[in-house]
Copies of this chain bind each other. A is one copy, B any other.
Amino acid sequence: MTLTGELIIGAKRIAAPATFRARDPATGEAIEPAFSIARDEDVEATCALAWEAFDDYRESAPASRAAFLEAISEEIMALGEALIERAGAETGLPHARLEGERGRTVGQLRLFAEVLRDGAFAGVRIDPGLPERKPLPRPDLRQRMIALGPVAVFGASNFPFAFSTAGGDTASALAAGCPVVVKGHPAHPGTGELVGRAVAKAARRLDLPEGVFSLLNGGAEVGAALVADPRIKAVGFTGSRRGGLALMDVAAKRPEPIPVFAEMSSVNPAALLPGALAARAEALGESFVSSLTMGAGQFCTNPGLLFALDGSDLDRFERAAVAALSRVEPAVMLTAEICAAYEEGVAALTGHPAVKTLHRGAARRGVNLCRPALFGVQAADFIADDSLREEVFGAASLIVRCEAEDQLIDALEALEGQLTATLHLGDADAALAARLLPILERKAGRILANGWPTGVEVCHAMIHGGPFPATSDPRVTSVGSRAMERFLRPVCYQNLPDALLPAATKADNPLSLPRLVDGAWER
């Protein structure tokens, strides 16, 4: 399939005069073809189409949206090896990882199809009228969820499939009944075009309104214009803190402010409790390094901070981690910008007077290589300096040595909001773990025991979210079936004649949805 570099605006393919090219991060060289940068008129046309599609698409039967999501997953798989190859060239990510991520992405689309068929997402609640009630009758009240409106989705660089063109934000917004406009990540425009065409083809196959999906390319200006458009009603974003805050600012300043669901930054603290360290310091050091260096550390859930009590068991852990790190081959990072930011973050830690460099990967020939870094600091210094709590995106982590349990608690309390928090514990650690848990619950969206946070299962119970600045809204998740709730809002119908009621709330329940009737569930 030949890439055209055109914008996908509903059924139209538009070439614009200004263009850019992807770069192979392993060589730094440009890859053909040139991709169009959306103009104001393209953003305008796209939003107009999305708006036009909205009322029809949001009222499509849940089963028909399920079929759409399944068709998208089929069309993505039908792209075959060409998709994996292009993504590999644009991201430097290895073949097996990309195949795994593609599996996750199509699995995610199918999960939302299941959720649609289950029907609980529609949130139908019925409080039947009580005409005889005194002193006042109760009206008949019926509630259901409807789609929020067209959603702008910002693709992330580090997951070219799972958090990008047809990733979790797109899948959950389409499931909810929202048309989607993707602003593709400029690091993988060819991957974006291939996936975008797959989505558009699925929409055509199912005869959906063309505005249900569009894909624009461009920089921050295109993104800001999209978020500012009055027809866009919500935003999904995965990326940097700076990028997320900028979009939140645009959204808050609109005449009609809209929610931005931004997943931004997390250092994913892990506490190594004394019993765990005593029992398995070496094994922990090795498994930590696997998690830290996987995908050159370019995961939102990369373990960037470790906390432990000072002592010989922590020394054992450090030695094992350093030994494991010395066996790690440097890996190509996603983009030159990410590599430069990583080097800057590592340099800040290396030059910090209170920070000790425990390991730095050796320099090798090649561009954009991630040389893993491990640092150590005393808890008192860590607590005193905000800058030590900032995310360094890539394989870099800081071990915080605590003098006592109380200092460990102070250090954890000093943290900002996180996507994850991890406890490694042994049998003797129960009491300390119970003291830490309430702190971690306040700080993070997901709490793990005896594992590492990389690897985010797509399922019903997953939360990929957390207090600011991990995300812009701790009440939601961007992974798992609840992700869809972000793009729905409730509407209540009072005393509407049955003929006028939407199908979800009609007396004979034609969609066979589960319903909460007078406070009790009926299935």
Contact = CB atoms under 8 A, between A and B. Distances in A.
Interface stretch (A16-24, A217-225, A355-363, A449-457): A449-457
Contacts of A455: 136
A444 B143 CA distance: 13
Contacts of A492: 445-447, 461-463
B519 A114 contact: yes
B465 A495 contact: no
Interface string A476-507: 01000110000011111111110110100000
Interface string A125-168: 11100000001101101110010110000000000000000000
A459 B417 contact: no
B500 A468 contact: no
Contacts of A469: 256
Contact of A438 (B59, B446, B495): B59
A501 to B, nearest CB: 9
Given A118-B519, A500-B434, A518-B460, A495 B143 contact: no
A341 interface: no
Given A430-B499, A500-B433, A141 B450 contact: no
Contacts of A257: 248, 468, 472
Nearest to A439: B55
Chain multiplicity (copies): 2
B497 A449 contact: yes
A467 interface: yes
A475 B490 contact: yes
Contacts of A490: 445, 463, 465, 475, 477, 482
Interface residues of A, number: 80
A495 to B, nearest CB: 5
Nearest to A138: B457
A516 interface: yes
A473 interface: yes
Nearest to A472: B257
Contacts of A442: 55, 149
Interface centre among A473, A493, A516 (most CB of B within 10 A): A493
Contact of A460 (B55, B127, B434): B127
B447 A496 contact: yes
Contact of A447 (B127, B423, B491, B499): B491
A474 interface: yes
Nearest to A254: B468
A33 interface: no
A31 interface: no
A448 interface: yes
Contacts of A125: 460-461
A448 B125 CA distance: 16
A441 interface: yes
A136 B101 CA distance: 13
B451 A139 contact: yes
A345 interface: no
Interface in A235-290: 248, 252, 256-257, 259
Contacts of A340: none
A125 B120 CA distance: 14
Nearest to A514: B521
A143 B461 contact: yes
A409 to B, nearest CB: 12
A78 interface: no
Nearest to A118: B519
Contacts of A416: 256
A437 interface: yes
Contacts of A472: 257
A475 B178 CA distance: 14
A449 B495 contact: yes
A461 B126 contact: yes
Interface of A: 55, 59, 100, 114, 118, 120, 125-127, 135-136, 138-139, 141-143, 146, 148-149, 248, 252, 256-257, 259, 416-417, 423, 425, 430, 433-434, 437-438, 441-442, 444-451, 455, 457, 459-463, 465, 467-469, 472-475, 477, 481-482, 488-497, 499-500, 502, 514, 516, 518-519, 521, 523
Top 5 A-B pairs, shortest CB-CB distance: A463-B492, A141-B461, A125-B461, A448-B494, A143-B461
12 contacts: A59-B438, A118-B519, A256-B469, A257-B472, A445-B491, A446-B492, A447-B496, A449-B494, A461-B492, A461-B516, A462-B492, A463-B490
Given A55-B438, A425-B497, 5 more contacts: A437-B500, A445-B491, A465-B490, A467-B489, A482-B490
